[in-house]
Amino acid sequence: MALRKKICLLFAGGTIYPDNQGKWQVVKKESDINKWLSELPELRIVGEIEPVFLYGEDTGPITSQHWQVIAKAIIERYKHYDGFVLLHGLESFIYSAAAISLAFANLSKPIVITGSPLSHKKNERLADKAFKKYKSVGVRANLLNATQVALADVAETMALYGNGIFRAGALIRTGSEGNIIDSYADGKIGHIDFGIRFSGKVTVRSNRKLGYHAHYNPQVHMIEYHPGLSDDWLARQGRSIKGLIITVKTIDELSAKFRKQLLAVKRRGIIPVLYDRQARSSDDRQFLIVNDMTLEMTLVKLMWSLGQSKDYAKVSKLMRLPVAHEKINLKNV
Amino acid sequence: MKLYFYGAPTNRVDLDNSYGRIKRLLRQTGAELTASTERLETTMTKEELEKLKKAGEIALDKMDAFIIEGSEADAQAGYLLAFAVARQKPTLYLYERRGQLPVILKNLDKKSIPKTLEVKGYLKENLDEILQNFLRGLGSLKVEEVPNIKFTLRITKTIEKYLHYKTHNTDKSKADFIREEIDGKMKKDSKFWDWLKKQREN
């Protein structure tokens, strides 16, 4: 008899669901897992599930240290499982998905990130109403679908929410209650209707040498540039900052004075990144321009790049290098 | 009512024939059928599917009941079974009663099998009957039962005359007349249906 496929289920928030008796189930501590899983017998049909507790639903704001904990948990168990499913809270879902996708290059098996759209802080009555209306996006549905995807012939870091399967590095958060997580066209790699369906452009399982870099430098700031604003604040950026993302409507709007101050910032060892999704080109001799990644990914990738080097040329090279299918077409969206 | 039928793609002609037979019977009930065997056939329109996609919903969620032919169960059969268990939708899991219980079912302990799931081993001879019993339990479907149980009935001369009187010069046989009379009485007997439901649940 063929051995059952093994899935590592990592708990990092995003666990709230109402069981069949209408009682809310949540994993706040490791000892909650058995009860939580016992209400989901369907998972045992799909594969052998082995849970790993990383942190609970009540964990405060997610930081780069949490990303390191997740990545470490995966790399330590990488050889022993057919696929990984990470349960994660919605609030910082996109950032963590970007971080995990960058941590692993040349995957030979899937990592699927999913979770519950219900926050434990929310009023239970409202959560109940939302769950009844959008059963497809509840963690129970998401987890079953994610488990199935984790056994599929795909070798990428993906996010699964509702009926969408996305590249983890190309996510956006929408205002819609149904498709809470979405992505730009390039990032959508599959959907669920009568089953799991992938488009033809996914990377399939094969024996590749895994690349692993899970250090993130959190000393990054992000500011929004608007014409007419005082430029002095740029000069005041603290020395503790190693990277600075400036979002601009269009690069051409940058004043000469602002550019000059930006160069001064660069000389102080801070790496400035100009984020302009409509920029015609990312080639600029003075600055690093990003026009091919989501803003969330740009932030996380700068942290990740600075986790490997503080040298402008090296960071610039890493930022331009496609690592986890994060390079997408943002124009005309 | 929306029904979903799944049978894993197969090279076996006999199994493929069973799939065909199941699909025919399900269509006869007047249900909206989505069937996935060698290819997907659905009565749902492109517009309906697109609307669901945009709303973040899963088309499977719109199905009222599932019929899975799992003799050659694959990953999709497992997924559908898991889906039906999670959603507690009425599900009939069929397998040919000549081998062992499908491995897929061994991963479910008895305690966690919901009442909505029926697992039935079948033979060519009783496939229709098993399906009809399941469909009848769903209600609101037109299920034509095949009268295949032989029954000897002794009647009086007068009853025989009455049967002749009611059926001569019609296209009905005396047996048809008796069956229809009993069927009509049975349909109105709510106590009988409650009793039958309890029997099936047990």
Q: pLDDT by residue (tens digit) across B80-90? A: 999 998 888 99
Helix (H, G, I), strand (E, B) or coil at A214: coil
The sign of the torsion formed by the CA atoms of A67, A71, A72, A74 equals: positive
Complete edge-to-edge strand list for the sheet that includes strand A164-167: A48-55, A6-12, A83-88, A111-114, A157-161, A164-167, A188-192, A196-198
Q: How many CB atoms lie within 10 A of CB B31?
A: 22
Contact B104 A137 (CB under 8 A): no
* Closest to A145 (Cα-Cα) out of A166, A160, A130, A167: A160
Let me know: does B106 contact B81? Beta carbons within 8 Å: no
Q: Whose structure tokens read 């979405």?
A: A182
Kindly report which listed range (A190-194, A232-236, B29-33, B170-174) carries the lowest average pLDDT score. Answer: A232-236
The sign of the torsion formed by the CA atoms of B106, B109, B110, B114 equals: negative
- The per-residue pLDDT of chain A, averaged, comes to 88
State residue A33's pLDDT score.
97
Contact A195 B76 (CB under 8 A): yes
Let me know: does A265 contact A241? Beta carbons within 8 Å: no
Provide the shortest C-alpha distance from residue B5 to chain A (in Å): 11
Could you report the per-residue pLDDT of A178-232, keeping only the tens digit for each? 678 888 878 999 999 999 999 878 999 998 899 999 999 999 999 998 877 776 7
Using the predicted structure, report yes or no on whether residue B108 has a pLDDT greater than 70.
Answer: yes
Kindly report which listed range (A69-78, A109-118, A203-212, B168-177) carries the lowest average pLDDT score. Answer: B168-177
Type and span of the H or E element at B25: helix B13-28
Let me know: does B5 contact B36? Beta carbons within 8 Å: yes
Contact A195 B55 (CB under 8 A): no
Interaxial angle between packed helices B127-138 and B190-201, expressed in degrees from 0 to 180 and rounded to the nearest 10: 120
State residue A133's pLDDT score.
58
Which pair of tokens denotes residue A71? 């990545």
Q: Where are the beta strands (DSSP E) in A73-226?
A: 83-88, 104-105, 111-114, 157-161, 164-167, 171-173, 181-183, 188-192, 196-198, 211-212, 220-224
* Closest to B91 (Cα-Cα) out of B28, B29, B137, B35: B137
* Closest to B85 (Cα-Cα) out of A24, A192, A112, A44: A44
- The per-residue pLDDT of chain B, averaged, comes to 89
- The DSSP bridge pattern shows strands B117-122 and B40-41 to be unpaired
Give the largest Cα separation in chain A, rounded.
72
Helix (H, G, I), strand (E, B) or coil at B47: helix
| C-alpha distances in Å from residue B39, one per residue of B1, B34, B77 | 22, 11, 14
Could you report the per-residue pLDDT of A288-319, keeping only the tens digit for each? 999 999 999 999 999 999 999 999 999 999 99
- Partners of A249 in the beta sheet? none
Instruction: Report the pLDDT averaged over residues A231-260.
Output: 83
- Partners of A24 in the beta sheet? A18
Confidence of residue A66 (pLDDT cuts 50, 70, 90): very high
Q: Per-residue b/e over A235-263, b at no fewer than 16 CB within 10 Å?
A: eebeeeebbbbbbbeebeebeeebeebbe
Cα angle, residue A117 at apex, residues A116 and A121 outer, rounded to 5°: 95
State residue B107's pLDDT score.
77
Using the predicted structure, report yes or no on whether residue A332 has a pLDDT greater than 70.
Answer: no
Q: How many CB atoms lie within 10 A of CB B72?
A: 16
* Distance between first and last Cα of chain B: 25
State residue A119's pLDDT score.
63
**A99 compared with B98, residue with greater pLDDT:** A99
Using the predicted structure, report yes or no on whether residue A70 has a pLDDT greater than 70.
Answer: yes
Let me know: does B43 contact B156? Beta carbons within 8 Å: no
Instruction: Report the pLDDT averaged over residues A281-290.
Output: 83
State residue A137's pLDDT score.
56
Give the DSSP letter of residue B78: H
Could you report the per-residue pLDDT of B43-68, keeping only the tens digit for each? 999 999 999 988 888 999 999 999 99
Using the predicted structure, report yes or no on whether residue A121 has a pLDDT greater than 70.
Answer: no
**What values do phi and psi take at A328, rounded to 5?**
-135, 165
Please list, in sequence order, all residues whose beta carbon lies within 8 angstroms of the beta carbon of residue B70, skipping any fewer than 6 positions away.
B8, B77, B81, B93, B94, B95, B102, B104, B105
State residue A134's pLDDT score.
54
Please tell me which residue of chain A has the smallest CA distance to B52: A193
**B166 compared with A1, residue with greater pLDDT:** B166
As a whole number of angstroms, the distance between CA A315 and CA A309 comes to: 6
Provide the shortest C-alpha distance from residue A148 to chain B (in Å): 7
Please list, in sequence order, all residues whose beta carbon lies within 8 angstroms of the beta carbon of residue A153, skipping any fewer than 6 positions away.
A204, A205
Q: In sequence order, what DSSP letters do the residues of A17-32 get, joined into one string?
A: EE-TTS-EE--SSGGG
Using the predicted structure, report yes or no on whether residue B147 has a pLDDT greater than 80.
Answer: no
Confidence of residue A250 (pLDDT cuts 50, 70, 90): confident
State residue A331's pLDDT score.
64
Which pair of tokens denotes residue A194? 């009568």
Contact A45 B107 (CB under 8 A): yes
As a whole number of angstroms, the distance between CA B170 and CA B62 comes to: 44
**A289 compared with B187, residue with greater pLDDT:** A289
Interaxial angle between packed helices A295-306 and A93-103, expressed in degrees from 0 to 180 and rounded to the nearest 10: 50
**What values do phi and psi take at A120, rounded to 5?**
-70, -20
Could you report the per-residue pLDDT of A155-170, keeping only the tens digit for each? 999 999 999 999 999 9
Contact A178 B57 (CB under 8 A): yes
Instruction: Report the pLDDT averaged over residues A173-177.
Output: 76
Provide the shortest C-alpha distance from residue B151 to chain A (in Å): 43
Confidence of residue A256 (pLDDT cuts 50, 70, 90): confident
CB interface of A with B, residues 117-136, below 8 Å: 134-136
ipTM of the complex: 0.85
Instruction: Report the pLDDT averaged over residues A147-153.
Output: 96
Instruction: Report the pLDDT averaged over residues A274-292.
Output: 85
Task: Give the closest of A42, A177, A196 to B85, CB-based.
Answer: A42
Say yes or no: B83 contacts chain A, CB-CB below 8 A.
yes
State residue A205's pLDDT score.
95
- Partners of B96 in the beta sheet? B122
CB interface of B with A, residues 16-55, below 8 Å: 34, 36, 40, 42, 49, 52-55
**B117 compared with A284, residue with greater pLDDT:** B117
- The DSSP bridge pattern shows strands A164-167 and A157-161 to be antiparallel
Could you report the per-residue pLDDT of B88-104, keeping only the tens digit for each? 899 999 999 877 777 77
Using the predicted structure, report yes or no on whether residue A136 has a pLDDT greater than 80.
Answer: no
Q: Whose structure tokens read 């999709």?
A: B76
Provide the shortest C-alpha distance from residue A256 to chain B (in Å): 45
State residue B77's pLDDT score.
93
Provide the shortest C-alpha distance from residue A97 to chain B (in Å): 20
The sign of the torsion formed by the CA atoms of A249, A253, A255, A261 equals: positive
Instruction: Report the pLDDT averaged over residues A46-69.
Output: 94
Task: Give the closest of A45, A145, A196 to B108, CB-based.
Answer: A45
Contact A178 B61 (CB under 8 A): no
As a whole number of angstroms, the distance between CA A185 and CA A172 comes to: 11
Confidence of residue A131 (pLDDT cuts 50, 70, 90): low
- Partners of A52 in the beta sheet? A10
Using the predicted structure, report yes or no on whether residue B142 has a pLDDT greater than 80.
Answer: no
